[in-house]
Chain A
Amino acid sequence: MKKKEVPQDDEGLLEGKLRDLCYAVDEDGNYVTVLSTGWEPKNAAMHQAWEEIHEKVELTRQKVLDGELSMLAYFMEKNIMDMKLLAQYTGIPRRKLKRHMNPRKFQALGREILEKYAEAFTISIEELTDITRLEEAK
């Protein structure tokens, strides 16, 4: 890759927080490093991965609003976790976790357990339990 060809296809994926360091050759054929704000095929691959995640989150959001699943299921998907990972973060066994996916069982949970979940998702207990917020969330 030539220095001049280092792509600058910024689609906001890096949120302006950093630029990617790339290796490229200058006019004399010597390697130099150049900063890049993104590259189209790479951006497309990232979008593809996120679309898949967003689809799952949206599907789960609907199920929670329909009363099929608890808020726990929504936040698990939103944090790209599965039951195994969530169990590791909270220390709550998977078999219990599975039960907490049930909206009625979830509502009956005590503060102590809710605290653990909220901590794993880095949100407050209010956010974790307030279903009205889900109606606007998208």
Chain B
Amino acid sequence: MSENNKDISIDFEHHHAAHCENGVTSNLLRHHNLNLSEAMVFGIGSGIFFSYMPFIKLNGLPVISFRPYPGMIFNRLCRRLGIKIQRYKFRKDPDRAMNTLDSIIEQGIPCACLVGVFHLTYFPDPYRFHFNAHNLIVYGREGDEYLISDPIMESPVRLTYKDLKRVRYAKGTFPPKGRMYYMADIPEDYDLPKAIVSGIKKTSREMLTIPIPLFGVKGIRYMARRMKKWPKKLGDRKASHYLGQVVRMLEEIGTGGAGFRFMYAAFLQEAAKELKQDWLNDCSKEMTEAGDRWREFAIIAGRIFKGREGKNESYIAAAEILLDIADREEKIYRQLKRIKLN
């Protein structure tokens, strides 16, 4: 950054969200006068998911996820609403990545960046792991500092030039490589009801019909069956770490509680209003109940890894809850699958 760069502050409204990807998307849309809540973005982007991949390990723990691959929610939403996106990636040139960012905000366009959280200076230390698919929006510059809207923070924050450059070039799994994007064109005649229906259909398909048993409702059942055997197969210590991993993924910052189940229930409520289909309110209620069951699971799991209960029976009890959740969720997605426009 050259010395004579003047300060820029784009008139940008920061809204706190549960999850970074939905939050960035929702905040960018609002900036372009398209008011969609985080839950709405999440639902249209088919954000709810489940996968359990015991063969792929991160730090010795199996990969468990309650959401699709990073970037999917954003991509699906933009496709369904017909939004054009301008994307950049600078494989090996951090200086160019920063210069291009400067020139975009100089044009008055807020720009989203992919970053790693490990070196995010404003983040609480206990949450700074090497996780590289975090999203934030840069909306200005003041001296050596960039004005940042990070949707999981309650208010806007700042990063120095050096720190922003560092997090944009975090290393490890899924390195961001200076990726950034902004909304280039938002159509005026977008079809919201149609987008909602496509989003719900995609979700129910993904949760019910992927023919590999690691994903969707089948994935929940698969994990539950394996979980019953964890203490015998892995030993108490490792088994409790596996369980800890499930709870961290379920409740990590950004799921809005119970692995996005409550956020999805909130979306279904909004969808009921938007589509004038009251039965979606019942689905929302059932989804809330499923979410409550996920939390019961987390409480049992918490007792196990705090060492209060470490016996086989507790793992079986925890797994039984998961099987019940799978049945409940399956019923919901089967209803949702039949959704049509009025």
Contacts and interface: CB of A to CB of B under 8 A. Distances in A.
Interface string B294-309: 0100110110011000
**Interface SS of chain B:** helix
Given A44-B306, A46-B126, A52-B241, A23 B263 contact: yes
B18 A85 contact: no
A30 B18 contact: no
Contacts of A52: 241
A18 interface: yes
Contacts of B284: 31
Interface in A6-31: 6, 13-15, 17-25, 29-31
Bin chain B's interface residue count. 35 or more
Nearest to B154: A18
B302 A22 contact: no
A41 B258 CA distance: 12
Given A15-B124, A19-B154, A88-B172, A46 B248 contact: yes
18 contacts: A1-B288, A13-B127, A17-B153, A18-B152, A20-B253, A21-B18, A21-B152, A23-B262, A31-B39, A31-B262, A31-B266, A35-B154, A41-B301, A41-B302, A45-B305, A48-B240, A80-B130, A122-B119
Contacts of A33: 18, 256
B82 interface: no
B251 interface: yes
A37 B185 CA distance: 38
Interface in B253-296: 253, 256-258, 262-263, 265-266, 269, 284-285, 288, 291-292, 295
Interface of B: 16-18, 39, 118-119, 122-127, 129-130, 152-154, 171-172, 175, 240-241, 244-245, 247-248, 251-253, 256-258, 262-263, 265-266, 269, 284-285, 288, 291-292, 295, 298-299, 301-302, 305-306
Contact of B256 (A21, A45, A89): A21
A25 B17 CA distance: 17
**Interface SS of chain A:** mixed
Closest A-B pairs by Cβ, 4 of them = A41-B302, A31-B266, A88-B171, A23-B262
A109 interface: no
Contacts, number: 110
Contacts of A44: 244, 247, 302, 305-306
Nearest to A32: B266
Contacts of A40: 302
Interface residues of A, number: 37
A14 B252 CA distance: 12
